[in-house]
Homo-oligomer: A and B are copies of this chain.
Amino acid sequence: MEFEKYIRDIPDFPEKGIVFKDITTLLINSEVFSKVIDKMAESYKKKKIDKVVGIESRGFIFGGMLSYILGAGFVPARKAGKLPHKTIRESYSLEYGESIIELHEDSIKKGDKILLVDDLLATGGTAEAVVKLITRLGGEISGIEFLIELDFLNGREKLDGKKIHSLIHY
């Protein structure tokens, strides 16, 4: 299935010169959306995954479903100040300035097998920060699933050595 034909291009969003990849046109189509999730889950069904980590906020949509299918717990990686209990945090660079991402420090145990998921791999800064957090807590990353990868931004290089899979490449 050609998943990319269900993605809508939005020129000049969120700012001039950027073509935003709108995934809502894919999510709304239940048949296509189910196939996306099944594809993401495919290579993990025979492995033991303890936790699926989803990155706020579109990663929650995919992460919740994958945790259900794989019989794993769900762990949200959230922006600074959103998680209410004790957290660990990493900062990462954005085009202008930087941002912070957090995990609850009791969300992952040493040796937990982790599947990390987000909608988009762009420069890889966010995913790299979350990989660091998972690793600091002793989690072992079994793989990273993205719906979309913007190949020309080379985000994959920041996640060197990890098993990365994206369903759509630009």
Q: Give the interface of A toward B (CB within 8 A).
A: 8, 10, 13-14, 20, 22, 24, 27-30, 33-34, 37, 51, 54, 56-58, 60-65, 67-69, 71-76, 81, 83-85, 104, 107
Contacts and interface: CB of A to CB of B under 8 A. Distances in A.
A84 B30 contact: no
Contacts of A67: 27, 30, 33
Contacts of A60: 57-58, 60-61, 64
Stoichiometry, as copies per complex, reads 2
B74 A22 contact: no
B84 A13 contact: yes
A76 B27 contact: yes
A28 B63 contact: no
